[in-house]
Amino acid sequence: RICVITLAEAHPLLQSGKTIKNINYQISANCSRLQNKVSGKSKRGAQFLTELAPLCRITSSDGEEYTIYSCIRGRLIEVNENILSNPALLQEKPSTEGYIAVVLPKFEESKSVTQGLLTQKEYEAVLLKRRSSAS
């Protein structure tokens, strides 16, 4: 039932040979994802995220900034602080140690959330279509 947020294989940071200069979980002056303190079985204190809630901002060596969004409604269980000291994990191991955050959708919404996700084959078909329309 938990969702691990990672960079998609097709994300520009993983495609273009860019290097990551900085990862910032400070979303606004009053909101830092690093301040998220979760406790207990009911995950008290977890920040609630909507689909459009920013999780972090990643700056590449060429100065381009990418905002990574939650894309899912739920409670922020944890952010990966390891990528702050070792940003290369995002590119070297994006689907394991280089994850961005863990989000727990509401129990009653979790089934509809998972049914709305693409399978690996569907995702690859979308990427293929996107590439062919761009060229």
The residue among 48 and 116 whose pLDDT is bigger is 48
- Here the tokens at position 38 are 């979760």
58 is in which domain, residue-wise?
3-133
CATH number of the domain encompassing residue 20 = 2.40.50.100
> Is residue 41 predicted with pLDDT exceeding 90?
no
pLDDT, mean of residues 122-131: 87
Predicted pLDDT at 59:
93
pLDDT digits 0-9 by tens, 72-118? 889 999 999 999 999 999 988 988 899 999 999 887 777 777 777 88
Q: How confident is the model at residue 37 (pLDDT cuts 50, 70, 90)?
A: confident
Report how far residue 128's alpha carbon sits from residue 125's, in angstroms, rounded to the nearest whole number. 5
Our count of domains for the chain comes to 1
Whole-model pTM: value is 0.84
Percent of the residues in the chain that have a pLDDT greater than 90, as a whole number: 39
Confidence bin at 135 (pLDDT 50/70/90): low
